[in-house]
A and B are shown apart, each in its own frame.
Chain A
């Protein structure tokens, strides 16, 4: 047993550290560090920098721009990317539709979509959830009927993250209404410019436009946009969601937020000294750090065993990482909210009347704290809610 990285792994880590800090613009990384929403431009710029260096899609097959990295190298990459506050590569492209097309798509689909997906020349969004299909995803009702060599899609998708920027959407649609619910689902790629698609923004509690509803009104989709086989979409979705879960702990991100909260607490005046002098506050930091360290080692155990594991055996690890990882992400945003304290009250973009030149009373980072805290309640809901994860552990692993 040995927790240490090899000298080669340390060199690999240091190269990445340098690359992220030198090549990805500081103003973009500052936005990420403060937990502010990113513009489309920020995400595209950052991902294209990574892609030019061959670092946007390390999880893809080597033939399509992936890296033949060890699980430890992949772990280091993710950790360093998050600790440097580099925007995560667009997950719909890199972790969702990309691997699905690379694994199950036709050669023509691979050629058409993969390079453009890696470079975000195509921005993808995800059409899975529906108003009546959240945790119970397989009860989705959007239909695709075959007519004259085309699919005609009708229905409604919900929670479509960043769909307002999207060029294409990958959708789960029902192609066989008579089959058992998981059996009649297909995986379709749909051009967002197709007639009959309407995108309606949904503003979330943090005041941001992050998610949308997408309506399909007899949208015609060419047959060649079907991925894999008809009615096998549920298998591809399960493959995709399993990919989603391994990266979901976001330990590097929580570490970055926690470290930042500690620095800000040392800079924040309170009680005649700084907030860091407050032992109640520091105790909560210590509790969080302990939980985070435990999860980090858990993640390392999973990574170290990845190559050896029997892929068909139920593994509680991804559910554990999801539950604890999301709890810790939420706790770090809560901690930042507490550091901001009363200065978290004003909403961002408060008005600046002309002629007002007084220095601000609130620290300039503080107005991002509350929206981030509000926004992060989502992480225990999406990707299979934490209750669904407990069901998975209980059924698949404990045999209850």
Chain B
């Protein structure tokens, strides 16, 4: 039992924390935010999760946690989750040798961004609810369907797309994952801003021809791979939310000490002190579960991994709601303004809450697996 970082992890943390502090997003700034993707590439964090033989650095989920926590703390909107964690996760865990050789170096050096196109009308949090079709035509597949809220989808060059090659809408079998060139004929997309300052896209696939060599993993058997990559992403999201919560909690405590009302700092009011103390408790519970998720993310036994990741997301969501709402309330009116950063952390926590499953969804998953504690 050990919660220490290795020397290498500590150095990574120092450099990414410094980077995130220097590049923390100022939500009040007008105009286009500077593109920090080349700097992230230079830092090596885009290559982080890939193995050394694939051209990466060989980091694991703890390294991903360190990066995501820093990005959350700095309110950074660069598409690390969609491109490196999700896209990279599909290549790492499901790509064949040729696919890895072709795409991993591009993702690692930052010249190619990826996104995971899976959400459809009515599918909500069910990865297996897929209506987009992929029909065989000679040596190719032809994709037709609509995807929405594709995180980082508007400027990704390569999409991982879930499509149905067999069965009907909510069958677990018959789902195939495809690597689709975002510029391929028949792909059209509409990008838009998200609540948290990131970018999302609706993407239409109309007779998009994909060669069989671009099938990721097994035909008809894509769901377990998608489930694992999503669990890896959930662990990363827990860390992102943790980072956002840490900063929001810190900012709130600072504000309580400086804001004066009735001639005294409002920090002197016990009603507010206790709520601030409860925020700290919530952050620490979230930290524990973010660590737990990181340690379970690469577990290949789904019966061990699934309830653990679901429990982590449920706790982090719950803590995130509390910390976000309380931060706004303890600040008062100032946190309602676009100019002040507290509200933007609140918004990031709110969107993270509903990425790949809200609290109800994950509690149901914990329930379905029979829970976490049995008599010994």
Binding site for B on A (CB under 8 A): 1-5, 9, 17, 72, 83-84, 255-256, 258-260, 262-263, 279, 282-283, 285-287, 289-298, 300-301, 303-305, 316-317, 319-320, 323-324, 387, 389-391, 393-395, 397-400
Contacts and interface: CB of A to CB of B under 8 A. Distances in A.
Given A289-B371, A297-B292, A304 B2 contact: yes
Contacts of A1: 2-5, 62, 291, 294-295
A279 B367 contact: yes
A400 B253 contact: yes
Nearest to A259: B375
Interface in B261-308: 267-268, 270, 272-274, 276-278, 280-281, 284-289, 291-292, 294-295
A323 B281 CA distance: 9
B373 interface: yes
B367 A283 contact: yes
A393 B367 contact: no
Contact of A259 (B268, B315, B366, B373): B373
B295 A260 contact: no
Nearest to A298: B288
Given A1-B294, A398-B276, A391 B270 contact: yes
A279 to B, nearest CB: 7
Contact of A298 (B4, B284, B363): B284
B314 interface: yes
B97 interface: no
B281 A293 contact: no
Given A293-B292, A298-B284, A320-B280, 12 more contacts: A72-B1, A83-B376, A259-B374, A259-B375, A283-B364, A286-B366, A290-B315, A294-B286, A298-B287, A300-B3, A394-B270, A395-B273
Contacts of B315: 290-291, 293-294
B190 interface: no
Contacts of B364: 283, 286
A283 B363 contact: yes
Contacts of A83: 376
A324 B289 CA distance: 14
B68 to A, nearest CB: 15
A289 B363 CA distance: 10
7 contacts: A1-B4, A287-B314, A294-B285, A300-B1, A303-B1, A304-B3, A390-B274
Contact of B311 (A2, A260, A293, A400): A293
A292 B288 CA distance: 11
Contacts of A320: 280-281, 284
Contacts of B124: none
A262 B285 contact: no
Interface of B: 1-5, 62, 253, 256-257, 267-268, 270, 272-274, 276-278, 280-281, 284-289, 291-292, 294-295, 311, 314-315, 318, 363-364, 366-367, 371-376
A304 B278 contact: no
B3 A293 contact: no
Contact of B373 (A262, A294, A297, A304): A262
Contacts of B375: 256, 259-260, 263
Contacts of A9: 1
A352 to B, nearest CB: 31
Contact of B288 (A294, A303, A398, A400): A294
A131 to B, nearest CB: 24
Kindly list the 3 A-B residue pairs having the minimum CB-CB distance in the complex, ordered from nearest: A297-B288, A394-B273, A393-B277
Nearest to B281: A320
A355 B185 CA distance: 89
A298 B285 contact: yes
B280 to A, nearest CB: 6
A76 B239 CA distance: 28
B276 to A, nearest CB: 6
A324 B363 CA distance: 19
A390 B273 contact: yes
B272 to A, nearest CB: 8
A263 B374 CA distance: 8
B2 A289 contact: no
A320 B292 CA distance: 18
Contacts of B371: 262, 282, 285-286, 289
B1 A2 contact: yes
A319 B367 CA distance: 30
Which of B280, B284, B363 gathers the greatest number of chain A CB atoms within 10 Å?
B284
B64 to A, nearest CB: 12
A282 B371 CA distance: 9
B345 to A, nearest CB: 18
A285 B291 CA distance: 22
Contacts of B292: 3, 293-294, 297
A317 B281 CA distance: 9
Contact of B277 (A5, A84, A303, A390): A390
Given A293-B292, A298-B284, A390 B1 contact: no
Contact of B291 (A301, A317, A400): A301
Which of B1, B267, B284, B289 gathers the greatest number of chain A CB atoms within 10 Å?
B1
A258 B281 CA distance: 22
A220 B318 CA distance: 56
A258 B372 CA distance: 10
Contact of A297 (B280, B281, B289): B289
Nearest to A294: B285
A320 B279 CA distance: 11
A290 B314 CA distance: 7
Nearest to B4: A1
Nearest to B265: A400
B104 to A, nearest CB: 25
Nearest to B267: A400
Nearest to A2: B2
B295 A293 contact: no
A173 to B, nearest CB: 31
B114 to A, nearest CB: 27
A301 B311 CA distance: 18
Contacts of B5: 1
Given A289-B311, A400-B267, A17 B376 contact: yes
